[in-house]
Structure 1
Amino acid sequence: MPTASDPTRTSVRVRAASPAPPRTAWVPGSRDRRSADAVVHRPPSGPTTRPRPFWPWLLPVLGLLAALTRIPSFRRPLWNPDEGFLATQARMLADGGVLYDTVVDRKPPLLPWLYQGAFAVFGDASLWPLKAAAVVAVAATAALLASIARRRWGERAGWTAGVLYVLVSVGLNPEDAQAANFEVFTLPFTAAAVWCADRRRWGAAGLAVAGAFLVKQTGGAVLLPAVFLLWRAVPPGGGRRAALARLGACFALPVAAVAVATGWRGFVFWTITGSGSYASFTGSELHVLGRGLLNTAILAVGCAGLLLPLVAVARARTPGRYRVLTADLWVWAAASAVAVLSGFHFFGHYYLQLMPPLVLLGTGALHLLPVDRLLRSALCSALTCAAFLGWGVVADSTELDHVRRVADAARRYAGPEEKVLFWGMHPESYWFADRAPASRYLTAGLLTNFSGGRDGHRVGQRYGVEGSWPVFRAELDEDPPKVIVDDSRGRSYAPSRMPSLRYVLAARYERVERVDGAVVYVRSER
């Protein structure tokens, strides 16, 4: 019989008095309950620690950051000719114009309709409602990216993706990043398409792709990562075919409905088939390539806080990188790169479409790296964001000032009910002048193929949009403008090189003034 000093008896007593091992608690957002021990340990009794709410904290931060980073947007009436084109289109539509007939552009209709609706509610004297809508679009894109990152890598990654997207979203030339342009309003739809596809909501993903396409054609490139996610998530067979059918139908039906509503012939011509000369690499190749290299370098600086972690992970061959930096993210980035290349113009605002997939790739890389790398990346992004905001504050306004002076000159010679024609590449001139355009073609580029620095042998009447010159001549004959302003300033689309316009000026108009190199002609009474 064991004694009181028996070690066996003592061991039994110790085991009986030992507390039970601590229970583990699963943290919401953890993808694997089995790894909870590595996250949180807490005893079964006592006060519990409730996780801090995610969205009630993040959404206000994203909204505030988006508003702060777009302050330069409100410092000017507009930032680039795209805003001027949309504003003038909206006024023409409000006055009874018909899209893809008496109001034309090479873009889908959602953004012209948004401008028209904003003008109907707030008036057409200012673009501030559209600039405010751009703030909402940036915050919405950031929130969707945060949701994707949180689902994949946890709440810290969600915060990282959302905040870093807002910081890098202004990392381009201010006239590209601060404008209420097509890309800014395309990106919420592209992010939503990937968000839905990531959750196997194929119908909603198709609708989001349709929305992106109807803002700008290149937004439809997000269909590729959506299909890739579907292909990986749904097993072969009837289920995959049904999912593909749902995705395709929900993409095609809204586009078809808009085409029918606007007149399908005009819609197809102006958004797809009528831009052959524009989407060409020939003409001023070196100039276009130089712009592409410059804007690529600017993007690299603006996204340095994302690109450097990606490079670090690639160079160190960090374990697990293929499970985090998954193929669908690279497919999205590749599709966005193709969208940037399309048209061979390399305008800075095209590069905005690359930012969402780069943000998720950078966030994934930071998830694999130590926390101190996240802090350095955030600091780098904040500093570059501040630099680009400073650029926006001090950016040169010479061209904008020129446009306003030319518009003032046209307004002096044409009454409120008289039409004018600005022969140049600044459709915002009509908006500043507050005079109706004499033609549906708001830039000389549509009539001559001069665009984005393209010059030389690919510019002229024969290279304009198919069938545009007979329509243009008929417009000038039936309702001749009171004032024609030649704002070509010696470029290759000057009236002296356009026989039809040169004849009209010589036969019916008198030169009355020269403003900053632009020549003002007034219709003669003889």
Structure 2
Amino acid sequence: MSTTATHRRTLNPPAVAGFAALAIVLPHVPSFFHRLLDGDEAIYGSIAALMNMGGPLYAEGGVDNKPPGIFWVYAATFRVFGTYQMTAIHAVALLAVIATAFLIFLAGRQVGSTRAGVLAAIFYGVVTAAGNPRLLAANTEVFMMLPLTASVLLMLQRRWVWSGLLLAAAGALRQSAAIQVLLLPFALAYLEPRETRLRGPRGGSDSCRPTASSRPGWSRR
């Protein structure tokens, strides 16, 4: 038995999880030192403040070409933490990035290995903050990716109804999420057995749900 094989078997899951968390969080820390990171944040914040004062969205509450989801996120955050509390907005955005990275880990583990999932999650956390300070902004893309990634994960598990609902939720945050609709027929044809393919869009069966035996473990990857 080789030393490499022994090392892989003794890989410490908490240590790996801690390293991944640091690699994801640290690049986003600078967002807490700047009140506004992008002009879009000012627009979303202004409209959210008007909404919380009773103005209806796309009318007296402000007009913009974005779907309503981003304004709901800002308005809800302002209601809890105070109007124009951008530190809270950036914290919510970071939580969305962390949650998305975790879902990416789950998807990567399902289609590849635990190592693939960890690397994919770290890569997402780093590239969403690297290269341009504006990437740190609490923009529509950051919040859209959470339900969109969850939709892909459920698609891989053949839970079609929930995948579709989360895809719709992603579309409420950013229009470009609609492109994933094109994946649905291909995923249905590729993932769903022929005999159940016509039933797939109505929800899928319990047999499609991952079991403990089908999940790659830390000790094997």
TM-score, normalised by the number of residues in structure 1: 0.35
Deviations 1:5-42 (A, max 9, x none): xxxxxxxxxxxxxxxxxxxxxxxxxxxxxxxxxx979x
Query: Match for residue 66 of structure 1?
Result: 24
Match of 2:129 among 148, 170, 176: 170
CA contact (8 A) 2:32 2:90 kept: yes
Percent identity of the aligned residues? 32
CA contact (8 A) 2:57 2:63 kept: yes
For residue 129 of structure 2, what is the amino acid of its counterpart? V
Within the alignment, does 1:107 sit opposite 2:32 as a pair? no
Query: Could you tell which deviates more after superposition, 122-131 or 84-93?
Result: 122-131
CA contact (8 A) 1:62 1:139 kept: no
Q: What is the SS of the residue equivalent to 1:205? A: helix
Q: What is the SS of the residue equivalent to 2:85? A: coil
Within the alignment, does 1:243 sit opposite 2:184 as a pair? no
CA distance in 2, matches of 1:58, 1:221: 34
Q: What is the SS of the residue equivalent to 1:70? A: helix
Q: Quote the RMSD (CA, aligned, Å).
A: 2.5
For residue 153 of structure 2, what is the amino acid of its counterpart? W
User: As a proportion of its length, which structure holds more helix?
Assistant: 2
Residue 72 of structure 1: CA displacement? 2.0
Query: Match for residue 186 of structure 2?
Result: 228
Unaligned runs of at least 5 residues, structure 2: 205-221
Say if 1:221 and 1:195 are closer, same or farther in 2 by CA, change over 3 A. Answer: same
Deviations 1:23-73 (A, max 9, x none): xxxxxxxxxxxxxxxx979xxxxxxx976564x445444433332111221
Residue 153 of structure 1: CA displacement? 2.1
Q: What is the SS of the residue equivalent to 1:209? A: helix
For residue 190 of structure 1, what is the amino acid of its counterpart? L
Within the alignment, does 1:121 sit opposite 2:113 as a pair? no
CA distance in 1, matches of 2:58, 2:17: 39
Query: Match for residue 188 of structure 1?
Result: 146
Q: What is the SS of the residue equivalent to 1:107? A: coil
Q: What is the SS of the residue equivalent to 1:215? A: coil
CA distance in 1, matches of 2:146, 2:17: 15
Superposition pairs for residues 484-495 of structure 1, below 5 Å? none
CA distance in 2, matches of 1:140, 1:61: 16
Query: Match for residue 76 of structure 1?
Result: 34
Query: Match for residue 208 of structure 2?
Result: none
Query: Match for residue 142 of structure 1?
Result: 101
Say if 1:205 and 1:171 are closer, same or farther in 2 by CA, change over 3 A. Answer: same
CA contact (8 A) 1:62 1:143 kept: no
CA distance in 1, matches of 2:17, 2:73: 24
Query: Match for residue 50 of structure 2?
Result: 92
Question: Who wins on radius of gyration, i.e. which is larger?
Answer: 1
CA contact (8 A) 2:89 2:138 kept: yes
Q: What is the SS of the residue equivalent to 2:37? A: coil
CA distance in 1, matches of 2:174, 2:188: 24
For residue 36 of structure 2, what is the amino acid of its counterpart? L
CA contact (8 A) 2:45 2:84 kept: no
CA contact (8 A) 1:67 1:135 kept: yes
Residue 186 of structure 1: CA displacement? 0.8
For residue 206 of structure 1, what is the amino acid of its counterpart? G
CA distance in 2, matches of 1:58, 1:121: 34
CA contact (8 A) 1:63 1:136 kept: no
Say if 1:197 and 1:58 are closer, same or farther in 2 by CA, change over 3 A. Answer: farther
CA distance in 1, matches of 2:158, 2:123: 26
Count the aligned residue pairs.
Answer: 199
Superposition pairs for residues 496-511 of structure 1, below 5 Å? none
TM-score, normalised by the number of residues in structure 2: 0.80
